[in-house]
Structure 1
Amino acid sequence: TLPRYLGAPADAWAWIACDTSTTRALATHLRAALPAPRRQVRAQGYWRP
């Protein structure tokens, strides 16, 4: 599962790319709910619904 990967090696990361509001929500969730430092979460919103 994702928590297992992000809590593991320092070079593990998550990439999120979707509409801007969903991207923000997912990135915020990962950073708050999981032990995922900002450097391990790449998020790019590329359109507004």
Structure 2
Amino acid sequence: LEHEKRPDGVKRDKRGKADESACKLSLETVWAAKQEKDEIKEAASCH
């Protein structure tokens, strides 16, 4: 069953940008948490 393909519109464009920034934000959050954990580990192993 073949449906008419709608052209990519403004809504899709906006959604794509929002998804991208949300993904980037969550990645930064995970990265920051990882770095924090590594710092705690280093501090614990030094003493």
Query: Given the two structures, how large is their TM-score scaled by the length of structure 2?
Result: 0.32
Question: Bigger relative contact order, structure 1 or 2, given CA contacts below 8 A and separation 6+?
Answer: 1
Q: Which has the higher helix share?
A: 2
Query: Given the two structures, how large is their TM-score scaled by the length of structure 1?
Result: 0.31
